[in-house]
Amino acid sequence: MTRSRARVGPQSTKAAPRLDVDGLLDDPSVGIIVCCGSGGVGKTTISAALGLRAAERGRRVVVLTIDPARRLAQSMGIAELDNTPRPVAGIDTTHGGSLDAMMLDMKRTFDEVVESQASPEKAQQILDNTFYQALSSSFAGTQEYMAMEKLGQIHRDARVGEPDGTYDLIVVDTPPSRSALDFLDAPERLSSFLDGRFIRLLLTPARGPARLMTAGFSMITGALTKVLGATFLRDVQTFVGAIDTLFGGFRLRAQQTFRLLQADGTAFIVVAAPEPDALREAAYFVERLSEDGMPLAGLVVNRAATAHSSNLSAEEAAAAAGRLTKDPDSKDPGSLAAGLLRLYADRSRLVEREAGLRARFAAAHPEVPTAVVPALAGDVHDLVDLRRVGVLLGGQDGDTVVETG
């Protein structure tokens, strides 16, 4: 899906088109919803709320989180999440829906890849290798790659889109990341690492006669041995030789999952906070998704300040506060009223500021539908709170932010 890059002047205040969240959740052709965005904007909460609302509207849903904070498990009343989908108790099943949740176990997913692609003997050789154990637990990009791998596994095993499938909707909470789309880049990065020139040099002894080991390469390995130690380098060579047969499988599955994310049955939702940095990052997400041909459903602006049901402007409230009291330290009723008016003025300015930020985003990306979720009074702790977020997501009225109390 190609998004327009047309720019509208910053003076434009045209509201963004409405993101029809309920329409998206109810569409049986949508089998995957991917929530992405920078860290700290509430992706986990939005993912869980979407999953709960979809399940209570009749979908068979699994929510896959890659968030290490485990907040999803707590809000869904599950003591512990792991690599196995677990049912969420307490949801309304009146419409025939169901809800499972799971959290990515990065190393276990990598182990499953190895076990599924190699003979038992070769798999054990890889699993016992010290370098593999380090790679599968902490190598940069492995978490994102394994998130893609697990998504592909769930989609295949659940037969998403088929009437007798385990699930008909997968909601993915992507990893919190400073780089906008590590989730999409990870398969290529890991494949490039495994297929890189140095790795190919390490494979040379396993593939051909010893004479192929040139003097130059011997010098390189000699230097690395001094820096890293002979045991570490030997572990690397053993791992690379053992995993060589899996290279094609890594690349093939990465390509398959990437195509799955580009398919019509997938919808990306970009989540942002109503702050300049978060919305700039969201703009990058939107542009990058367009470049990669990913189907963008829209933007969710989370934790927005709410407007009061009064026609009094911030300037009028501040002026009235100034007239009510001459002494800001006075404890008379006029000072109390003045303080409340100042609080009202500050809140009104915040609402206006956030509305301006959303208007500028809409001007730059006029075709991106938007949903605005007001900030709740406290943190999201349980299904009641998640259900409330879901109601706010589904009950959008254009770009209006409603007072939630």
Most confident range (mean pLDDT) of 173-182, 255-264, 266-275, 337-346 is 266-275
- The answer, yes or no, to whether residue 112 has pLDDT greater than 80, is yes
Same domain, 189 and 134: yes
| CATH code for position 125 | 3.40.50.300
**One domain for residues 318 and 357:** no
Residue 53 lies in a domain: yes
At 396 the pLDDT is: 55
Torsion from C-alpha of 185, 191, 192, 193, nearest 10 degrees: 110
Whether residue 14 has pLDDT greater than 80 = no
Tell me whether residue 124 is in a domain. yes
- Verify that 386 and 332 share a domain, yes or no: no
The H-assigned helical ranges of 57-196 are 71-75, 106-117, 120-127, 130-138, 142-158, 182-194
Mean pLDDT of 229-253: 65
Report the number of distinct structural domains present in the chain.
2
* pLDDT at res. 2: 38
Mean pLDDT of the chain: 77
Q: How confident is the model at residue 312 (pLDDT cuts 50, 70, 90)?
A: low
- Which pLDDT score is estimated for 196? 54
Reported as a pLDDT band with limits 50, 70 and 90, residue 209 is very low
pLDDT band at 349 (very low <50, low <70, confident <90, very high): confident
Highest mean pLDDT: which range of 21-35, 94-108, 323-337, 345-359: 21-35
Question: Quick one: which of 108, 147, 106 has its CA closest to 127?
Answer: 108
What pLDDT sits at residue 399? Answer: 42
Whether residues 185 and 333 fall in one domain: no
Q: pLDDT at residue 188 above 70?
A: no
Q: Who has greater pLDDT, 40 or 181?
A: 40
**186 SS3 class:** helix
Does the pLDDT value for residue 59 go beyond 60? yes
Full residue range of the structural domain in which residue 323 is found? 314-352
Residue 124 sits in the same domain as residue 222: yes
Residues 117 and 223 in one domain: yes
d(CA 272, CA 375): 13
**Is pLDDT larger for residue 127 or for residue 207?**
127
**HSE, side-chain direction, 13 A CA sphere, residue 356:** 9
Task: State mean pLDDT over 4-30.
Answer: 71
pTM: 0.78
Asked if the model's pLDDT at residue 314 lies above 90, the reply is: no
Instruction: Give the separation between CA 165 and CA 58, rounded to whole angstroms.
Output: 14
Is 16 inside any structural domain? Answer: no
